[in-house]
Amino acid sequence: MSEPALLTIDRAERVFGGGRTIFGMPKPAVHAVQDVSLEVRKGETLGVVGESGCGKSTLARLIVGLDRPTGGSITLDGRDIVQDADKNPRKLARKVQYVFQDPVSSLNPRKTVRTILTAPLIHLIGLNRQGQERRLEELMEAVNLTPEFLDRYPHEISGGQAQRIGIARALAADPEVIVLDEPVSALDVSVQAQVLNILDDLKTRFGLTYVFISHDLSVVESVSDRVAVMYFGRIAEIGPAREVFRNPNHPYTHLLLQSAPAPGRRSLVPEDANTELPDPYNPPPGCAFFARCPNATGRCGESRPALEAKSGEATHLAACYHPHGGKEE
Amino acid sequence: MTEAAVSPAPKARATARRPDSIRLLLNNSLATGGFFILVTMALVALAAPFLPLADPDVTAPANRLMPPFSPDHFLGTDALGRDILSRIVWGTRVSLAVGLSATVIAAFFGSLIGLVAGYAAGRVDSVLMRGIDMIMAFPYILLALAIVAVLGPGLLNALYAIAVVNIPFFARSIRGITLGLSRREFVDAARLSGKSNAQILFIEVLPNVLPVIIITMSTTIGWMILETAGLSFLGLGAQPPQADLGSMLGEGRKILFTAPHVSVVPGLMILVLVMSINLFGDGVRDVLDPRLKSGVLTRPVARTTVDRKDASSGLKPRADAILDVQDLRTEFHLGGTVYKAAGGVDLHLAQGECLGVVGESGSGKSVSAMSIMGLVPSPPGRIVGGAAFLGNEDLFSASDERIRQLRGADVSHVFQDPLSTLHPLFTIGDQLTEAILAHRQVSGSEAMKIAEDLLNLVRIPNPSERLKVYPHELSGGMRQRICIAMALANDARVMIADEPTTALDVTVQAQILSLMNTLRHERDAAILFITHDFGVVSAICDRVAVMYAGKVVETGATQEILNSPAHPYTAKLIDCVPVLGEPERRLDAIEGRPPMVNNLPQGCAFADRCPKAQADCRAAPIPVTEFAEGRSVRCLHPVKEGEHV
Ligand SMILES: Nc1ncnc2c1ncn2[C@@H]1O[C@H](COP(=O)(O)OP(=O)(O)OP(=O)(O)O)[C@@H](O)[C@H]1O
Ligand code: SF4
Ligand code: SF4
Ligand SMILES: [Mg+2]
């Protein structure tokens, strides 16, 4: 805890829709991200897990300035990201970069790898011809591809290679933080391992800070120092990865861990199939997990639990009135 | 991590692609014909000033209305005695120039509007597109007439009118494409690479839109020439004495019966010109966007072609298997290349058993499974060898009618994307009852009752209400449960499930897996379960078959394979998956990637990546060895128990 946070997200909120139509009727609003606060320290990997639609990608896009929060603030090194994204997007892009989920569609089909990788070198750090050549070589070396790939088109390379190009592009301007949104979900397991190993290697070599988003718990567990579990746009639990996975406080984290298949795990513990998911257009007043929660009591349906330390560890927080293995309130 | 070093040199390079498109175009004889006629006409029209032609505008009343083939006047003369051949050549020149310029103007402004509207979206898009809608609200030719009426008749004004009238056409199609492209991830990526909006629009998006602009141009230019001719015909375009195909037609109309050649000749010229442009335009479209090609969208035949050359008739089904696939060979023939997607696959399922088929993408899992009931699209797919026995019946020699009966009844399928099975426009009830009625002699109300029971079976709450909803009103997990209900509708003996849980969240996946597991015990149905996830295999499969490059390389009971894999590939595949609860484990990536199935080595397909490979591995095809009860492996130097590779 000694080092100050590099990236601070304070009560970030992103609402889609809302407002009124020209006839004055209210338009439905979806709270994709609500009241999310977290810190990422230099050199650490923060894993973000959660199911589809829980707001992971929206949060990621907020951090890199591809989208603007409708409330709260996001600061990097003490500077407001939202203001930077409006005034000087290139400056922000030099510090924070993004790796996309679908490696192939994140590369323009009509550009060669060389053109794709040169763009940030020109626009972000203004390298000259010579500098570009040298940097391209370094980048290809960093992601373990021979320079021969520079002259290929995206459809001429495999998914794993395309994702490495995506990583090289993110590295090009020497950023401090890289947000990885499901970087290995589209890859085969054997290729996934190659990419995970490269990411690990790059992190130590260049002193990078990662925000690693994935729905795959085992992948997140293997890469993260700390992990945040998101449910319905909010953080349900956050803490050191070891702690959260070994001693989950929030019933939702518990459910995720029990549902995850693992080699050798003979039977999964399924949740009762009748449970309903909360309606994003009509969010429940209390805990969003109420309808699915085995520990729920009347209180959970009425008011929303705050994100607090539940297991005695100051760094391990959960938003739940009746946490697993923690103290009751 | 030497993948880069071993990967083959790029086969198709940008420079090598271009001649390909031209060759493709030349293969299309209609397009080639159109192209040559067009080029000839264009060259003649361009050369008009240098050709030994009479002056097209000099009148000679003495020579009026001479018939074709007269001396000095090959195509005769018109009512003012002007040489028709000369006027046709000059007129074609004018028509081509006007059509081309109008197309270029319309394409430029239309595409610009479309690009900006599609990229900016939101308010800019609304304003621009409402403007376009207003233009489109007028009947086409009326609008052109109105514009000419305002500007005054004349060839240039006709050109502007035609161009303006065609702008919406370009704007709309380009906007649609741009809208789609602007949401693609590479646009976000370009933004993060520091590109400005203008740079993104014109450097990133435009090159992807260009083929569409060219296609649209090539298909509209003929139409524009026709429209110009129309305006000139009405006297609003080219003014006398200037020759233009449309005005010539108009002038000849009055004397159609006394001197038909005066109107027939320009009429034929318009026909040939527009036809050749359209044939060529269609050819260009087919080359640049093969999906739009006429005939491509027709359905492939309803069942995979079976074309077994070898003596597969000698194969006998196993006694204890309900489904027994032996030496299955399925190939794809694409442009002279043969992809051996399944290169001798053996799989068998006992009653009530769940067999997992594991492997990386491209290893032939789905093709093998789809071949069983002939669901591989033909062309290009075809089954060239082996047999699939359902009980004692060889499915590959069964009649189409028999296969139709079996599909969805004895053998049913569940796919990764439930929406590919469910029709979006029919209710769940309609679709379930249809599936039931297709195979059973029951009344509609009885079928409805069965459908309700099925929903109960797959644990869908409040089934009678759910029967009335449409697929989009259900969550992904619910839809997949409906698909399972459908697969069970007719007491299937075998269920083929292709990655049924891959698209689902873990909690939903756990529900579906336990549901499938319960149902197969209740109903004693066998499941062929395709997945790439060893965790999923552990949760539901009794036995596993591991596939690599179109062949099964190892089979055995799930626990045994996980504990002591025999094939080096299986061992490495298990090692490279992160395991929940073991974050410290080093991920052991498999270097390189599988060989392409159109270029398989003579010996073991895994040899290039295998740490245990030796010279003999590459010499000849590797046979399957059964090394223990129910365990077999396709490897000369299998991993021993406790050995690490
Ligand atoms: N542009 C948008 N307009 C309206 N709603 C949106 C938009 N983008 C996201 N949402 C909604 O916000 C919520 C969170 O979306 P987000 O894509 O961030 O989730 P996710 O966890 O990353 O999902 P997945 O794993 O499926 O990608 C969802 O309910 C989604 O439908
Ligand atoms: S607050 Fe209540 S409903 Fe929400 S997770 Fe905790 S116990 Fe369950
Ligand atoms: S046959 Fe040889 S190359 Fe192939 S897997 Fe076995 S040891 Fe490796
Ligand atoms: Mg996402």
For chain B, give every domain's residue range: 18-56+87-293, 321-543
**Closest residue (by CA) to atom 5 of ligand 1?**
A16
Query: Given this model, what pLDDT does residue B9 score?
Result: 38
Distance from the CA of A34 to the center of ligand 4, in angstroms?
16
Per-residue pLDDT at B265 exceeds 80 = yes
CB A130 within 8 A of CB A136: no
Which protein residues touch ligand 1 with a CB less than 6 Å away?
A 16, 30, 32, 50, 52-58, 215, 280
B198: closest CA among B106, B116, B108?
A: B116
Query: What value does the mean pLDDT take over residues B56-79?
Result: 82
Q: What pLDDT does residue B591 have? A: 81
Q: Cβ(A231) to ligand 2 under 6 A?
A: no
Q: Is the backbone peptide bond immediately before B379 cis, with ω within 30 degrees of 0?
A: yes
Verify cis geometry, omega within 30 degrees of 0, for the bond prior to B241: yes
Determine how β-strand A29-41 pairs with β-strand A45-49: unpaired
Q: Could you read off the pLDDT of B406-434 as tens digits, one per residue?
A: 888 899 999 888 877 888 888 999 999 99
Distance from CA of B359 to the nearest CA of A (A): 9
Q: Work out the pLDDT band at B463, boundaries 50, 70, 90.
A: confident
Q: Nearest Cα to B248, choosing from B101, B96, B58, B80? A: B80
Q: Could you read off the pLDDT of B465-474 as tens digits, one per residue?
A: 889 888 888 8
CA distances from B118 to A65, B172, B429 (A): 21, 9, 39
Average pLDDT over chain A, rounded to an integer: 89
Most confident of A147-161, A204-218, B205-219, B309-323: A204-218
Alpha carbon nearest to ligand 1 atom 17, residue: A57
Q: Is the pLDDT higher at A186 or at A14? A: A14
Chain B residue with minimum CA distance to A179: B192
pLDDT category of residue B490 using cuts at 50, 70 and 90: confident
Average pLDDT over residues A221-231: 95
Check residues B577 and B117 and name the one with the higher pLDDT: B117
- How confident is the model over A53-65, as pLDDT tens digits? 888 989 999 999 9
* DSSP H or E run through B133: helix B122-137
CA atoms within 13 A of residue A188's CA, in its CB half-sphere: 22
Buried b (16+ CB within 10 A) or exposed e, B607-621: bbbbebbeeebeeee
Tokens found for residue B395:
């499915």
A93 contacts in B (CB within 8 Å)? 191-194
pLDDT band at A20 (very low <50, low <70, confident <90, very high): low
Measured CA to CA in angstroms, residue A253 lies from A247, A259, B506 at distances of 9, 10, 11
d(C-alpha B619, C-alpha B439), whole Å: 51
Mutation target for A interface from B187, B188, B193: give the one with most A CBs within 10 A. Answer: B193
CATH architecture of B321-543: 3-Layer(aba) Sandwich (3.40)
Of A15, A27, A52, the one to substitute when testing ligand 1's pocket (max ligand atoms within 8 A of C-beta) is A52
Which segment of A172-186, B4-18, B183-197, B394-408 scores lowest on mean pLDDT? Answer: B4-18
Positive or negative, the CA dihedral B282, B283, B289, B294 is positive
Q: What is the pLDDT of residue B369?
A: 93
Q: Decide: residue B154, CB within 10 A, 0-12 exposed, 13-18 middle, 19+ buried.
A: middle
Query: What's the predicted TM-score (pTM) here?
Result: 0.81
Mean pLDDT for chain B overall: 86
Asked if B191's CB is within 8 angstroms of A268's CB, the reply is: no
- For range B530-544, the mean pLDDT: 92
User: Which residues does chain A have within 8 Å of residue B195's beta carbon, measured at their own beta carbons?
Assistant: 119, 123
pLDDT digits (tens, 9 = 90+) for B133-162: 888 888 877 888 888 889 888 888 889 999
CB of residue B174 inside a 6 A radius of ligand 3: no
Which of B100-109, B212-221, B395-404, B592-601 is the most confident on average? Answer: B100-109
Query: pLDDT: is B321 or B298 the higher one?
Result: B321
Contacts of B534 in chain A (CB under 8 A): 263
Confirm or reject: Cβ of A290 under 6 Å from ligand 2. Answer: yes
pLDDT at B108 over 90: yes
pLDDT of res. B295: 45
For B598-605, what is the mean pLDDT? 91
Ligand 3 within 6 A of B548 CB?
Answer: no
CA B608 from chain center: how many Å? Answer: 33
Q: Kindly report the CA angle at B488 between B484 and B492, in degrees rounded to 5? A: 130
Confidence of residue A275 (pLDDT cuts 50, 70, 90): low
Average pLDDT over residues B525-535: 92
Inform me whether the pLDDT recorded for A21 exceeds 70. no
- pLDDT band, residue B243 (cuts 50/70/90): confident
Cis before B377 (ω within 30): no
Q: What are the angstrom distances between the C-alpha of B418 and each of A36, B421, B503?
A: 33, 5, 9
Closest residue to A189, CB basis, from B204, B573, B591:
B573
What is the distance in angstroms between the Cα of B212 and the nearest Cα belonging to chain A? 14
CA distances from A169 to A119, B310, B343 (A): 9, 51, 39
Task: Render pLDDT for B223-236 as a digit per residue (tens, 0 to 9).
Answer: 888 888 888 888 88
Query: How confident is residue B644, by pLDDT bands cut at 50, 70 and 90?
Result: confident
Kindly list the distances between the CA atom of residue B622 and the CA atoms of B165, B296, B570, in Å, as whole numbers in the listed order.
68, 40, 16
Q: Which residue in A312, A253, A326, A306 sits closest to A11, CA to CA?
A: A306
pLDDT in the model for residue B292:
52
Residue carrying the six token digits 């009326």: B142
* CB-CB under 8 Å, B577 with A193: yes
What is the model's pLDDT at position B128? 93
- Tell me how many residue pairs between chain A and chain B have CB atoms under 8 A apart: 229
Window A:113-172, CB contacts with B under 8 Å:
116, 119-120, 122-124, 144-146, 148-149, 151-153, 156, 158, 160-161, 166, 169-170, 172
Given this model, what pLDDT does residue A282 score?
Answer: 80
> Which residues, at least 6 apart from B403, have a Cβ–Cβ distance to it below 8 Å?
B303, B373, B374, B395
Terminal-residue alpha carbon distance, chain A? 27
Q: Can you give the pLDDT at residue B289? A: 67
Cβ–Cβ below 8 Å for A156 and B10: yes
> Could you name the CATH architecture of B18-56+87-293?
Orthogonal Bundle (1.10)
The pLDDT value given to residue B300: 53
Token output for A286? 């209390």
- Residue B155 has which token pair? 């060839």
pLDDT surpasses 50 at A243: yes
Mean pLDDT of B357-380: 89
- Which CATH code of 3.90.380.10, 3.40.50.300, 3.40.50.1700, 3.30.70.330 fits the domain covering A5-319? 3.40.50.300
Mean pLDDT of B206-226: 87
